Structure 1
Amino acid sequence: MTVLDPVVGAKYLQEHGIPMLIEDVLTELLTAKPAKPIPFMRKVLSRAEVAASSGPTSAEGPDQTPDLETQVAALEAQVKELQLQLVEAGKKHAEHTASVRQLMLDVNKKEIIRVGNLHAEHTASVREMMQNVCKTEVIKVGQKHAEHVASVRTLMADVAKSQQIELGMKHADHTASVRALMKDVADKNGSNK
């Protein structure tokens, strides 16, 4: 016989007159407290089935039937209790998972906000630095322009002075030449008389 259900297995043991094995099943179930009680009980009852098929024991007899029914009922109650505990544990796990997910979302939002704030601060800092660099560059260019203008003015003044001197010298030479010419003309006119 293949054991498909713990109750069926218990009844099978009851029919074969091995009540001590039912107590063993309960004891192992309560001691081990397995995460999956049904497969665990099937395994234990399968071992009991093998033991039952080996032959009756001296403790067997019709007077054990009421006690076996009590044990079967207790076993069913234990299974139901374990199932309820599993359901409750599943609910708690689901709540915990939802809580962790929400926490992760909150952490992600806070991290995004923090990174955004850092980016905004960095951008403002870079803009201020660029404005300062621009101001410094404008001042530097202005100073260079002023120096260039002053240099050009000085050069123009020097050129003007040089030209004035040159013109003055040319004018002096021209005046001297005219005077000499006039003197020659005057001398020639005087000798002709």
Structure 2
Amino acid sequence: MSSLVFFCGHAGTGKTTLAKQLLGPLMKASGAPFCLLDKDTLYGGYSAAAMSMLTGDPNDRDSPLFLQHLREPEYRGLIDTARDNLELGVSVLVVGPLSREVRERRLFDHTWLGVAPDVKLRVVWVHTSEDVARQRIVARANPNDAYKLAHWEDYRQRRFVPSGASRDGLLMFDNTAPNPAHYDALVARIMAG
């Protein structure tokens, strides 16, 4: 059985680092191949070119224009690429904020995702405090974060911590200061029945 594992959360929480850390252990635990699909790696260059043409700012990834016109096609392409791999028998780790999809429970919906009913779905919500996330964003000095930092109050309004029904089924992972035991426990939870 193939697995589709989402690593979701806000900027600066360490989603990509965590997914890369767990790729090998998940392959070992499952005995199956996995691939890693990171939204920024897949679509960063394309979005930079499109936003440069539209606004003159290739690093604009959070403005209303980007969110209205490019967000959905990026995410749909990410999920379509995951589906192609699953159909080939390769399990997939998908990395992206996907906060709207988490709130709307779409990542648990085989039909919405367009994947076979026997694909095992897991959604990891990677989180840390807003202060730690902001410090990490500043420290990594990625030009793609410039809009977030310049409009932090607006950006922080979009940040949320899943609660109530939106938290059901999520594998919550505090990525503030994880150690090997935390990673092992998360692998076990991802692999669980």
Q: What TM-score bracket applies, with the shorter chain setting the length?
A: under 0.3
Compare relative contact order (CA 8 Å, sep 6+) and give the higher one, 1 or 2: 2
Higher helix share: 1
The structure having more radius of gyration, on CA atoms, is 1
TM-score (norm 1): 0.21
Higher strand share: 2
